[in-house]
Structure 1
Amino acid sequence: MTEKLSDTARETLLPALLSTGWAMAEDADALTKSFRFDDFTAAFAFMTRAALYAEKWDHHPDWSNSYNRVKVTLTTHDLGGLSTLDVKLARKLDQLV
C-alpha cells in the first residue's frame, strides 16, 4: 500500500525534483511542472510514452496539452497528497523528455 510522504521523505526526495523544474502546487499537496516541446507531435508523443508508465503503475497524472506544452500535476488523490508514486512518476516524466 502506498503511503503519503512523511516529512523525512519529503526532505530527502523533493529537492532533486524541485531542482529540475517541478514545483509544489499552490492549492494542493501536489507537484506540478510544465513541459515545452518543439511542436504538437512531440508533446503528444511524450504524453503517449508517459501514459504507458502511468497505466502500468496505476497512477495517472492530471495533465493538459495545448499545442507544444504539457502541464502535469501529480498527487495521490486517495491519500490526499503526495506519495512515492508521485515521485516515481515525476522522475520518469523527466527521463522521457
Structure 2
Amino acid sequence: MSSRTLLTEAEIATALAELPHWRRAGIGDSISRTAEAADFPAAIRVVVAVAEQAERLDHHPDIDIRWRTLTFVLSTHSAGGLTSLDFQLAALIDQAFDGV
C-alpha cells in the first residue's frame, strides 16, 4: 500500500489508539494535537524539529503558534484524507515534543 493511500476507518482507529495525544473531529479528514512547550523558544525548537522531518517526508503539517501553545493539523490533501504519512508524521511530532 502506498503511503498516500487513504486509510480505512478501522486503520485510522488503530493508528489513533497508538497516538494518545492526537484527536480526530468526528469522521473528519484530519487529525490534530495541541500542546504547550515550556516557553516560546522551546515551542520554536519543536517547530524547527518538525519542519526538518516534514521536509524529509515531503509531507507538511498546518501549524498554529500561539506563544508557547502549538497546534498541528495533519491531512494528506492530495489523497483527500488520512494516510499513513499523517500518522508517521504525528509520531515524529510527538518525538519533537519529547525532545524539548
For normalisation by structure 1, the TM-score amounts to 0.89
Q: Please state which structure has a larger fraction of its residues in helix.
A: 1
Aligned length: 95
Q: Does 1:57 align with 2:48?
A: no
Equivalent in the alignment of 1:8: 10
Equivalent in the alignment of 2:35: 35
Equivalent in the alignment of 1:90: 90
For normalisation by structure 2, the TM-score amounts to 0.87
State the shift of 1:21 in Å.
1.8
Q: 1:27 to 1:12 in 2, by over 3 A?
A: closer
Find the aligned partners of 1:87 and 1:42 in 2 and give their Cα distance.
23
State the shift of 1:12 in Å.
2.4
Equivalent in the alignment of 2:67: 67
Gaps of 5+ in 2: none
Whether contact under 8 Å (2:30, 2:81) holds in the other structure is yes
Moved over 6 A (4+): none
Find the aligned partners of 1:49 and 1:9 in 2 and give their Cα distance.
27
Find the aligned partners of 1:84 and 1:44 in 2 and give their Cα distance.
26
Q: Identity of counterpart residues, as a percentage? A: 33
Find the aligned partners of 1:11 and 1:71 in 2 and give their Cα distance.
21
Find the aligned partners of 1:42 and 1:26 in 2 and give their Cα distance.
31
